[in-house]
Structure 1
Amino acid sequence: MSAIEWIHSFDRFDGKGGIKPGLERMVAMLDLVGRPHDRLKFLHVAGTNGKGSTCSYLAAMLQAAGYKVGLYTSPYLIQFHDRMTVGGVNISDAELEQIVAQLRPVVEQVAATEAGRPTEFEVLSVVSILHYAQQEVDFVVWETGLGGRLDSTNVVTPLLSLITNVGMDHQVILGDKLEQIAAEKAGIIKPGVPVLTTAQGVALAVIEQTAQATGSDCLQSGQDFSAQRTSFGWDGQTFDWQGFGHTLDHLRIKMLGAHQIVNASLAVAACMQLQEMGYVISESSMREGLLHTAWAGRLEVVAHKPLTVLDGAHNPEGAQALGTALRELLPEQKVVLIVGVMADKAIPEVLAPLVPLASHVVVTRANMPRSALVDEMAQMIYQLDPQLSVSTSQSVEEAFQLARGQVLEADGVIVCTGSLYMISEARALFFH
């Protein structure tokens, strides 16, 4: 059995099947391998949307400043090894096999205890910690998997905690009220460790209360730092940033959508806080890192004839952000929409911001059991707009064939959105 096959042999945490969130298995595994996480400097990132992009901006700026950076994100969009990189380079097959060989007996030892058999994500998280420790990285940019308080990644004490926006997602596991979800995200805040956030409203209030209880500084977007967008287009966008007694004018990013300004602003604030803590990160490094950041599957243009855009808007907040961006970038223009969502998502709320932008919708599904049934999604679209033309497909590849058949105008646009698993399958059609 290969290393990847072994990792995939573990249960995935889905809130079902008796698998419970908790840190006891992580702690047990890490104790048995010598607690390598204690030797690493983590920047821990939680939130509902924007985690991956914020992590990517942050890693790129630190790398531009000359630091060796480990980046841990999920899920992967291109290949399994994307989940753990060092200096932008994926873990190799040989490195993965070596670490798994070391970890197998440890996992079996833990599985035989009351803690029970680890989940796939728990095993992955320990593999990545061992990899970053072996590589002797300067920083680990460390994205949570789900929630925060009981997430596998929450075994570390970071230099900084970052929390992006907080919205309604994973309610079955995290709770059905925004305050409950925010409390889970705020669970990554550690005593005395500064937290930086772009959350707002009741979620921000929960984060502030948690920071106060742990004696942690809480640095907020709109109060301690801010960003103002100055231009945008299909080639990228610019913004001015203020905070920490500094003003950075005309910062440029290639990623699209007003929400990416928010994500980039949070990453800049984290770099400024690290500067205050004694780390050297020049303004030119920040500019360079921002400019060269790319994050697959986030308003990503993958073809031009017809213009084809992929975006992993898999929850209501993500769909709202995508809808806003499309209205800005394609004013007065309807799109052919390909959509597929996981069955456990708030599907009508994901569809609602996007259906009005479509001339035709192709409903499809990723090749995995958790995907929503296409006929049920088609019925939801009919309830939102009985006049809208809808077709269905059981495969992502066929969905694109149907969508291309619907693009009649020379300047027609295809937008594929929903589950990141589906976006991964879509990307494979364009990048071999």
Structure 2
Amino acid sequence: MFTTYKEALEWIHARLRLGIKPGLKRMEWMMERLCNPEMKIKAVHIGGTNGKGSTVAFLRSILQEGGYKVGTFTSPYIEQFNERISVNGKSITDEEVLRLSNIIRPLADELEETELGGPTEFEVITAMSFYYFAEVNKVDIVLFEVGLGGRFDSTNIIQPIASIITNIGLDHTNILGNSYEEIAFEKAGIIKGVTPIFTAVKHQGALKVIEEQAEKRQAPLSKLNQEFSITSHRSLEKGEMFTLKTKPQTMDQLEISMIGQHQTENASLAVIAAQYLNQQGFVVTEQAIRSGLKNAYWPGRFEILSENPLIVIDGAHNDEGIAALVHELSTRYAECYIHIVFAALKDKKLDQMISKLDEVANQISFVSFDFPRAADALDLFSLSCSQNKIAVEDGWKDYLIEAIKTLEPNGILVITGSLYFISEVKPYFSNFRKIPHIACDKPIYI
């Protein structure tokens, strides 16, 4: 038995050594021993390549504005491990993590002795979330974000009220497949029989796979630009505004505080899911939708940390994420001197990502960070064609301080790449204000 939160957390993270083990049998084994808590939960399942977390944030905020108690299970975390399991946006406590770990640990040890083998880190955390929402802190509804893929993801043992697939991109190709169609097949694995599925997938090959799997399971399918559409989009100083047309109604001038045209798609998915929940015993008014969208916040997604100097962090960790980032920089900040600091995982397709960043950056810096799969700064540097580039092998923290000190008067510092890197940068940023001559005015989120 663990006696401290630190011991429990070390045990959970130590299970990273088991890597990724696709399949549902270990989860089913643990759930049976726990009397199937996953069957006691009303849930919405959210999968896709990019936009899962933002969609969760929009839908949670809408439902919370409607007066509901909403659980969320998300990954990875940005500032603290506990945020992966939250209620109404508030992370579970250290004491609750300790309690849940002591419940799951004996099962993990017993499972280790079977032919199935021990559960992975993600399976342990997923099991903790199921038990928590069903037995420890009961909620009205839970929004489960898929960890990887969908078909064999640990969360895919739930029977949701509805499912959402945000988009499809070429990410985790070593596991999910090398084509949009192969990846779409894995993502479509969360589609359940006669359970509505909402999607913003635009790639025609991927969308065809989604359509085929939905038809096979007799799941009603609503698609962006068909059953619902976005019009009259315009960017605001701190967000976006758009009109959403759906079969029930047209909602004009919806406003979100997250930056990026792509966020209007994630917001629209949350809205149509909320409208469907209105038919399933929930009451979600138009006012709750409007307020929920505007108040929704998700860390590390084009997040403005400071206005003076202008500092942005964005967890653009794949080609689609980088494309969205570059679009916003080229449209919103075309007149600025753009300095990009980039770190990534070495198992990503990095050449195209860096090529896109080269196009928009006046200066680009590549850094290494302490993570087993982190790419070497020099390797990133070698992929860049920029005339103004630098590689920082050690000491990214000191380098960020220097980058802020030397930022051009009309400059913007954009820190981007791996979410694991962003999760280290954001907590560290709060220390910048304590350093002489680095005080930042008007911090947005600290």
Same fold? TM cut 0.5:
yes
- TM-superposed CA distance for 1:99, in Å, is 1.5
- TM-superposed CA distance for 1:354, in Å, is 1.4
Q: What is the aligned partner in structure 1 of residue 435 from structure 2?
A: none
- TM-superposed CA distance for 1:236, in Å, is 1.5
Q: What is the aligned partner in structure 2 of residue 399 from structure 1?
A: 399
Q: What is the aligned partner in structure 2 of residue 7 from structure 1?
A: 12
Q: Quick check: 1:233–1:329 contact (8 Å CA) kept in 2?
A: no
Amino acid at match of 2:292: G
- TM-superposed CA distance for 1:233, in Å, is 3.0
1:263 maps onto 2:266 in alignment: yes
Q: What is the aligned partner in structure 1 of residue 365 from structure 2?
A: 362
Q: What is the aligned partner in structure 1 of residue 171 from structure 2?
A: 169
Q: Quick check: 1:336–1:406 contact (8 Å CA) kept in 2?
A: no
What is the distance in 2 between the residues matched to 1:141 and 1:345?
Answer: 27
Q: Normalising to structure 2: TM-score of the pair? A: 0.92
1:143 maps onto 2:145 in alignment: yes
Q: Quick check: 1:194–1:218 contact (8 Å CA) kept in 2?
A: yes
Percent identity between the two aligned chains? 39
What is the distance in 1 between the residues matched to 2:106 and 2:72?
Answer: 26
What is the distance in 2 between the residues matched to 1:314 and 1:265?
Answer: 23
Q: Which secondary structure state, in structure 1, belongs to the residue aligned with residue 114 of structure 2?
A: coil
1:318 maps onto 2:309 in alignment: no
Q: Quick check: 1:166–1:203 contact (8 Å CA) kept in 2?
A: yes
Q: Which secondary structure state, in structure 2, belongs to the residue aligned with residue 118 of structure 1?
A: coil
Question: Structure 2 matches for 1:252-331, cutoff 5 A?
Answer: 252-331=255-334
What is the distance in 2 between the residues matched to 1:336 and 1:128?
Answer: 39
Q: What is the aligned partner in structure 2 of residue 411 from structure 1?
A: 410
Note closer, same or farther for the CA distance 1:229–1:396 as it changes in structure 2 (3 Å cut).
Answer: farther
1:341 maps onto 2:344 in alignment: yes
Note closer, same or farther for the CA distance 1:54–1:249 as it changes in structure 2 (3 Å cut).
Answer: same
- TM-superposed CA distance for 1:353, in Å, is 1.6
Q: Quick check: 1:363–1:378 contact (8 Å CA) kept in 2?
A: yes
Amino acid at match of 2:403: A
Q: What is the aligned partner in structure 2 of residue 207 from structure 1?
A: 210
Q: What is the aligned partner in structure 1 of residue 440 from structure 2?
A: none
Structure 2 unaligned residues grouped into runs of 5+: 432-446
Q: Quick check: 1:338–1:403 contact (8 Å CA) kept in 2?
A: no
Note closer, same or farther for the CA distance 1:411–1:274 as it changes in structure 2 (3 Å cut).
Answer: same
- TM-superposed CA distance for 1:291, in Å, is 0.9
Question: Structure 2 matches for 1:27-42, cutoff 5 A?
Answer: 27-42=28-43
- TM-superposed CA distance for 1:237, in Å, is 1.6
Q: 158-167 or 300-309: which moved more?
A: 300-309
Q: What is the aligned partner in structure 1 of residue 200 from structure 2?
A: 198
Deviations 1:239-264 (A, max 9, x none): 11110321111111110010111110
- TM-superposed CA distance for 1:12, in Å, is 5.4
Q: 106-115 or 155-164: which moved more?
A: 106-115
What is the distance in 1 between the residues matched to 2:315 and 2:208?
Answer: 28
What is the distance in 2 between the residues matched to 1:338 and 1:259?
Answer: 22
Q: What is the aligned partner in structure 2 of residue 44 from structure 1?
A: 45
Q: Quick check: 2:48–2:165 contact (8 Å CA) kept in 1?
A: yes
Matched residues, number: 424
- TM-superposed CA distance for 1:405, in Å, is 4.8
Q: What is the aligned partner in structure 1 of residue 434 from structure 2?
A: none
Q: Quick check: 2:368–2:392 contact (8 Å CA) kept in 1?
A: no
Q: Which secondary structure state, in structure 1, belongs to the residue aligned with residue 356 of structure 2?
A: coil
Q: Which secondary structure state, in structure 2, belongs to the residue aligned with residue 372 of structure 1?
A: coil
Deviations 1:349-389 (A, max 9, x none): 211221111111111123112000110100101xx33x233
- TM-superposed CA distance for 1:88, in Å, is 1.5
What is the distance in 2 between the residues matched to 1:11 and 1:331?
Answer: 41
Q: Which secondary structure state, in structure 2, belongs to the residue aligned with residue 190 of structure 1?
A: coil
What is the distance in 2 between the residues matched to 1:51 and 1:428?
Answer: 22
What is the distance in 2 between the residues matched to 1:230 and 1:49?
Answer: 20
Structure 1 unaligned residues grouped into runs of 5+: none
RMSD across aligned positions (CA): 1.4
Note closer, same or farther for the CA distance 1:260–1:13 as it changes in structure 2 (3 Å cut).
Answer: farther
Match of 2:240 among 237, 242, 247: 237
- TM-superposed CA distance for 1:396, in Å, is 2.9
Q: 389-398 or 420-429: which moved more?
A: 389-398
Deviations 1:210-236 (A, max 9, x none): 000001001101111112243313322
Question: Structure 2 matches for 1:107-146, cutoff 5 A?
Answer: 107-133=108-134, 134-146=136-148
What is the distance in 2 between the residues matched to 1:236 and 1:332?
Answer: 19
Deviations 1:145-200 (A, max 9, x none): 00000011111111111001101000000011111100000000011111000002
Q: Which secondary structure state, in structure 2, belongs to the residue aligned with residue 354 of structure 1?
A: helix
Q: Normalising to structure 1: TM-score of the pair? A: 0.95
Q: Which secondary structure state, in structure 2, belongs to the residue aligned with residue 379 of structure 1?
A: helix
Q: What is the aligned partner in structure 1 of residue 436 from structure 2?
A: none
Q: What is the aligned partner in structure 1 of residue 439 from structure 2?
A: none
What is the distance in 1 between the residues matched to 2:178 and 2:34?
Answer: 37
Q: Quick check: 1:396–1:422 contact (8 Å CA) kept in 2?
A: no
